[in-house]
Amino acid sequence: MTNSELYEHDFYEWTMETAAALRSGRFTDLDIENTAEEIESLGRHRKRELMSRLQLLTMHLLKWKHQPDRRGPSWEITLHIQRRGIADLLEENPSLQAVLTETISKAYRRGREFAAYETDIWIDDFPPECPWSIKEILNEDFRP
């Protein structure tokens, strides 16, 4: 079975074979197209993780602002965990800084939708555009 056939048949085995071929310098044995696709996929995964963390963070910032009577330790923990995870992600992947503004904008729109679903507050009661700066969103001490 060729390496590209193995990719379609048994992905795990394909990853093991590809890693072994790379380590031993057997570059002619590589399935270049699928290897390149999988490497790109790893990068997209990091960007999706950033988006996901920012969605959750902005959702909780909206809830914090619009439901002061419901604030509690679990919301504090969520804010802390997401901010710490974003900081770690940006430290390990500094090139994600270049897409941070665009990602926050999109993440806020989704976080706004999630906040509306979770709180039963009408979506139009939340600002249509993110009301906070990147610096505020990522600041461990910031609470709207």
Read off the pLDDT of residues 5-31 as tens digits, 9 standing for 90 and up.
888 899 999 999 999 999 999 999 899
Q: Which domain holds residue 67?
A: 45-138
Asked if the structure places residue 20 within a domain, the reply is no
Which among 77, 71, 82, 48 is positioned nearest to 119, based on CA atoms? 71
Q: What is the pLDDT of residue 97?
A: 96
Q: Give the CA angle between residues 71, 75, 76 to the nearest 5°.
A: 100
Q: What is the pLDDT of residue 4?
A: 82
Asked if the structure places residue 143 within a domain, the reply is no
Asked if the structure places residue 12 within a domain, the reply is no
Asked if the structure places residue 112 within a domain, the reply is yes
Dihedral angle, C-alpha 63, 99, 109, 41, nearest 10 °: -100
Q: How many domains does the chain have?
A: 1
Q: What is the mean pLDDT of residues 85-104?
A: 96
Averaged confidence pLDDT in the chain: 95
- What band does 1 get if pLDDT is binned at 50, 70 and 90? confident
Asked if the structure places residue 114 within a domain, the reply is yes
Q: What is the mean pLDDT of residues 67-71?
A: 96
**CB contact at 8 A, 132 and 142:** yes
Kindly report the pTM of this predicted structure: 0.86
Asked if the structure places residue 62 within a domain, the reply is yes
Asked if the structure places residue 120 within a domain, the reply is yes
Asked if the structure places residue 18 within a domain, the reply is no
**CB contact at 8 A, 101 and 134:** yes
Read off the pLDDT of residues 73-82 as tens digits, 9 standing for 90 and up.
999 999 999 9
Q: What is the pLDDT of residue 125?
A: 97
Residue with tokens 């085995």: 13
